[in-house]
């Protein structure tokens, strides 16, 4: 059954999964990423072949590798067949439920869907088309849109090599590995056009047309369309356009953004999808407005065309950091914009002016954030502070707004709770809140139920997740050290690394310099005292990648890795290579404290802290992003204060002192107090942490906010 408000999307079966007729619906299950946030489905796949599942965690690869003789045993296994029936019914019920939050909230709506464009989507680590927070946020947005029953379609790019895989060598240098993914072994399928042929769209670029094949990833009830230029019709020089996410080359990035924006609009049109609202998630996707202007220019003046595309467009800006606000040198941009301006029948300068960040003065780069702001009716940042910062940055682009009206609003990011909560914590919430536990998190009765859970139950669930993190990290560390040529004695010693009884602080995110991963290492004497305290020791687990072009970020990784091998820190400070969604899930589910140290006010939202909090981890964070909205004195700690930063050096020095003081005087003593069983004060804070995210920082709340504040007002606007 197609998602509501969407035509049926037909796909081409390109992978021959030879399944017994008794379990043929495993194919439908494998091709719908609903399994990625459904524990029963994950257990079902693992039970087919545990070794293969542990190796790939990809059901398509698993089913391709399944031994035909293995099915004979499984088909006679009553437990397996019962699980299969239950999971298949669960997917069918999910896809075909008639009453949803959206249908209840807007019962009269029968219009077309919202279209959501993003340059990356983090749905699951097996589909490696994401790098970090932006992609995971996009994936969580799709999952919650599906759960809430929104009419919704998403559009992105299908990267043949994905984002780079990271290896850290014995000297701490980050190595960049670009595997070539076989799309036939992933949970995606080519889309067929209404005429029954594999769908391809063309994108006008200087001197040629580039073609993109359209693939479909099913994210529950939400179709995610992914464009791929690695097709035979293209010149060999154009086929690698969608090879890798966030390539270094500025012109290659621009061609990717053109394929995403212009090609994405054309793909929707070819599928006869006419969105009611267009949501541009960050400037990388903003070129879709160029193609929409081409459609709008028919029988309209230039200003009328601009108004017509803006009136149903939502634009989300994520960061004030320059790297997050894509800019293209005017000479390079001009050669591309000239092609698009000619199709529009306007001067190149007029189109370039839409993307100028500073009052339209000539000679500036093409700024895609400015393009998005100028051509959207609703613009938002991803937290209250981020919205305020964005409003100060971009208010001058909207001189038409009445005095006092915000140019950039704030809709705070949230996380898809079923994806990020650990199994034991989920089981505990289901036990105490009932099967509809997710919905009850929005109700005061649900909060009360969480606060009444016995402390020992919370503590046991957390320790089970922490033990799993410990096993996982030790195995990864052992492989990492073995590749470095460490002797067997050191590999055996890994078994004592990361003691699950010790206070564990986690830090996992992109190693962009403004996130200040090095803040904890700015006073090594105090850090050594913390991790080696005779009564209250601490250990630190870190993971994260630096962009291949980010030398300072890579140098920071090397610095921290080398420190982790020094006396006094070795075994207490651990850096895990190849950060991805799986490492992220393990860490947020098992760490005791989640550390966030951005340089204010550069953090967009900081959703990793939300993922940790829903698992009972306590945030220790700078007051930036989401944390000022969440912190109430009972659910974590703050680093520094909210006073305006004077300069970088003073802010770093002050925040480092505050961080050490908080860990020494508050966090560690609290963790080790009341140790006759569950630490009462600590666990009460854990409960408050879970309630905080469950009630206000889930992706369901975020998508509801977008729907009520942006999508539906633009749909019903005259």
Query: What is the per-residue pLDDT across 660-710, written as a single tens digit (0 to 9) for each?
Result: 999 999 999 999 997 777 889 999 999 999 999 988 999 999 999 999 999
pLDDT at 360 exceeding the cut of 70: no
pLDDT average, residue stretch 31-56: 96
> Rounded to 5 degrees, what angle do the CA atoms 194, 200, 205 make?
140
pLDDT average, residue stretch 184-201: 95
- What is the pLDDT, as a whole number, of residue 2? 47
Tell me whether residue 716 is exposed, middle or buried, using C-beta atoms within 10 angstroms of its C-beta: 0 to 12, 13 to 18, 19 or more: exposed
pLDDT at 1 exceeding the cut of 70: no
Q: Where in the chain is the domain with CATH 3.40.50.2000?
A: 417-693
End-to-end CA distance of the chain: give it in Å, rounded.
33
pTM: 0.96
Neighbour order of strands in the sheet with 538-543: 573-576, 538-543, 503-508, 593-596, 618-622, 636-639
Helix (H) or strand (E) holding 410: strand 409-410
Helix (H) or strand (E) holding 649: helix 648-662
Query: What is the per-residue pLDDT across 48-89, written as a single tens digit (0 to 9) for each?
Result: 999 999 999 999 999 999 988 999 999 999 999 999 999 999
Provide the mean pLDDT of the chain: 93
Query: What is the per-residue pLDDT across 204-249, written as a single tens digit (0 to 9) for each?
Result: 999 999 999 999 999 999 999 999 999 999 999 999 999 999 998 8
Other beta carbons within 10 angstroms of residue 695's beta carbon come to 17
- What is the pLDDT, as a whole number, of residue 321? 73
Q: How far is CA 630 from CA 303, 597, 621, 690, 692, in A?
A: 42, 16, 11, 11, 7
Strand pairing category for 277-281 and 114-117: parallel
pLDDT at 644 exceeding the cut of 90: no
- What is the pLDDT, as a whole number, of residue 307? 94
- What is the pLDDT, as a whole number, of residue 677? 76
**Three-state secondary structure call for residue 538:** strand
Q: 316 forms bridges with which residues in the sheet? A: 281, 380
pLDDT average, residue stretch 623-630: 95
- What is the pLDDT, as a whole number, of residue 442? 82
CA distance 393 to 246: 24
Other beta carbons within 10 angstroms of residue 303's beta carbon come to 8
Relative orientation angle of helices 455-483 and 581-590, to the nearest 10 degrees? 140
CA distance 660 to 666: 10
- Nearest CA among 376, 340, 317, 28 for reference residue 187: 28
pLDDT average, residue stretch 474-496: 95
Q: Which residue has the tokens 């093409």?
A: 366
Query: How many H-runs (helices) and E-runs (strands) does the chain carry?
Result: 32, 20
Is residue 506 within 8 Å of residue 498, measured between CB atoms?
A: no
Other beta carbons within 10 angstroms of residue 452's beta carbon come to 9
pLDDT at 276 exceeding the cut of 90: yes
Per-residue confidence band for 3, with pLDDT thresholds at 50, 70 and 90 = very low
- What is the pLDDT, as a whole number, of residue 436? 87
Q: What percent of the chain has pLDDT over 70?
A: 98
Could you give the dihedral angle defined by the CA atoms of residues 441, 314, 142 and 444, in that order, rounded to the nearest 10 degrees? 0
651's tokens? 């802010």
Query: What is the per-residue pLDDT across 149-161, written as a single tens digit (0 to 9) for each?
Result: 999 999 999 999 9
CA distance 422 to 334: 50
What DSSP letter does each residue of 449-474 carry, written as one string?
A: HHHTS-HHHHHHHHHHHHHHHHHHHH
SS3 content of the chain, % helix, strand, coil (to 5): 50, 15, 35
Out of 3.30.300.30, 3.40.50.150, 3.40.50.2000, 3.40.190.10, the CATH code matching 417-693 is 3.40.50.2000
Per-residue confidence band for 322, with pLDDT thresholds at 50, 70 and 90 = low
Helix ranges, 297-422 (H): 302-310, 330-344, 348-353, 368-374, 384-394, 417-420
Query: What is the per-residue pLDDT across 263-272, written as a single tens digit (0 to 9) for each?
Result: 999 999 999 9
Handedness of CA 96, 100, 106, 111 (dihedral sign): negative
pLDDT at 628 exceeding the cut of 90: yes
């Amino acid at each position: 059954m197609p998602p509501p408000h969407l035509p049926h999307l037909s796909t081409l079966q390109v992978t021959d999964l030879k399944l017994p007729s008794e379990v043929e619906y495993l194919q439908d299950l494998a091709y719908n990423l609903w399994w990625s946030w459904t524990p029963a489905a994950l257990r079902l796949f693992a039970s087919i072949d545990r070794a293969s599942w542990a190796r790939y965690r990809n059901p398509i690869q698993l089913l391709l590798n399944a031994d035909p003789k293995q099915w004979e045993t499984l088909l006679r296994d009553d437990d397996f067949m019962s699980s299969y029936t239950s999971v298949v019914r669960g997917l069918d019920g999910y896809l075909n439920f008639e009453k949803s939050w959206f249908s209840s909230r807007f019962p009269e709506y029968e219009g077309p869907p919202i279209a959501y464009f993003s340059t990356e989507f983090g749905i699951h680590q097996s589909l490696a088309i994401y790098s970090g927070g932006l992609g995971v946020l996009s994936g969580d947005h799709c999952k919650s849109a599906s759960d809430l029953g929104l009419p919704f379609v998403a559009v992105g790019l299908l990267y043949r090599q994905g984002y780079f895989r990271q290896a850290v060598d014995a000297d701490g240098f980050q190595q960049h590995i670009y595997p070539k993914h076989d799309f036939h072994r992933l949970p995606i399928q080519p889309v067929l056009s209404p005429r029954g042929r594999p769908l391809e769209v063309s994108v006008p670029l200087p001197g040629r047309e580039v073609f993109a094949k359209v693939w479909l990833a099913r994210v529950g009830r939400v179709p995610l369309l992914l464009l791929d230029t690695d097709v035979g019709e293209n010149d060999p020089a154009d086929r690698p356009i969608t090879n890798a996410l966030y390539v270094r080359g500025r012109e290659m990035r621009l061609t990717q953004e053109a394929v995403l924006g212009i090609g994405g609009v054309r793909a929707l049109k070819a599928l006869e999808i006419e969105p009611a609202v267009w949501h541009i998630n960050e400037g990388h996707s903003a070129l879709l407005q160029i193609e929409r202007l081409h459609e709008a220019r028919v029988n309209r003046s230039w200003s009328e065309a601009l108004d017509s595309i803006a009136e149903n467009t939502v634009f989300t800006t994520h960061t004030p950091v320059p790297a997050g606000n894509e800019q293209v040198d005017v000479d390079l941009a001009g050669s591309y914009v000239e092609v698009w301006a000619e199709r529009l029948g306007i001067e190149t300068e007029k189109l370039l002016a839409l993307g100028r960040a500073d009052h339209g003065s000539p000679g500036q780069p093409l700024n895609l954030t400015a393009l998005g702001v100028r051509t959207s009716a609703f613009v938002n940042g991803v937290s209250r502070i981020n919205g305020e910062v964005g409003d100060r940055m971009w208010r001058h682009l909207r001189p038409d707004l009445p005095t006092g009206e915000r140019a950039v609003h704030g809709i705070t990011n949230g996380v898809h709770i079923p994806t990020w909560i650990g199994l034991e914590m989920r089981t505990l919430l289901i036990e105490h809140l009932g099967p509809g536990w997710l919905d009850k998190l929005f109700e005061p009765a649900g909060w009360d139920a969480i606060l009444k859970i016995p402390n020992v139950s919370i503590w046991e669930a957390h320790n089970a997740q922490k033990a799993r993190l410990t096993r996982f990290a030790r195995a990864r560390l052992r492989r990492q050290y073995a590749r470095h040529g460490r002797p067997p004695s050191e590999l055996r010693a890994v078994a004592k690394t990361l003691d699950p009884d010790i206070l564990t602080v986690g830090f996992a995110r992109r190693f962009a310099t403004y996130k200040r991963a090095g803040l904890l290492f700015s006073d090594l004497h105090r850090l050594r005292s913390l991790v080696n305290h005779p009564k209250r020791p601490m250990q630190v687990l870190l993971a994260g990648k630096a962009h291949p072009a980010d030398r300072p970020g890579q140098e920071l990784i090397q610095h921290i890795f080398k420190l982790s091998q020094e006396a006094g820190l070795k075994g207490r400070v651990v850096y895990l290579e190849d950060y991805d969604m799986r490492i992220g899930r393990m860490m947020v589910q098992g760490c005791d404290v989640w550390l966030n140290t951005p340089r204010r006010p550069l953090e967009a939202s900081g959703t990793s802290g939300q993922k940790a909090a829903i698992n009972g981890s306590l945030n220790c964070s700078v007051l930036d992003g989401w944390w000022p909205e969440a912190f109430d004195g009972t659910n974590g700690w703050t680093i520094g204060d909210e006073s305006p930063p004077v300069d970088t050096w003073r802010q770093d020095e002050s925040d480092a002192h505050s961080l050490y003081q908080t860990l020494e005087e508050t966090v560690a003593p609290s963790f080790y107090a009341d140790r006759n069983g569950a630490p009462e004060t600590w666990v009460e804070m854990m409960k408050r942490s879970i309630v905080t995210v469950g009630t206000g920082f889930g992706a369901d709340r975020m998508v509801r906010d977008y729907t009520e504040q942006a999508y539906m007002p633009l749909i019903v606007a005259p």
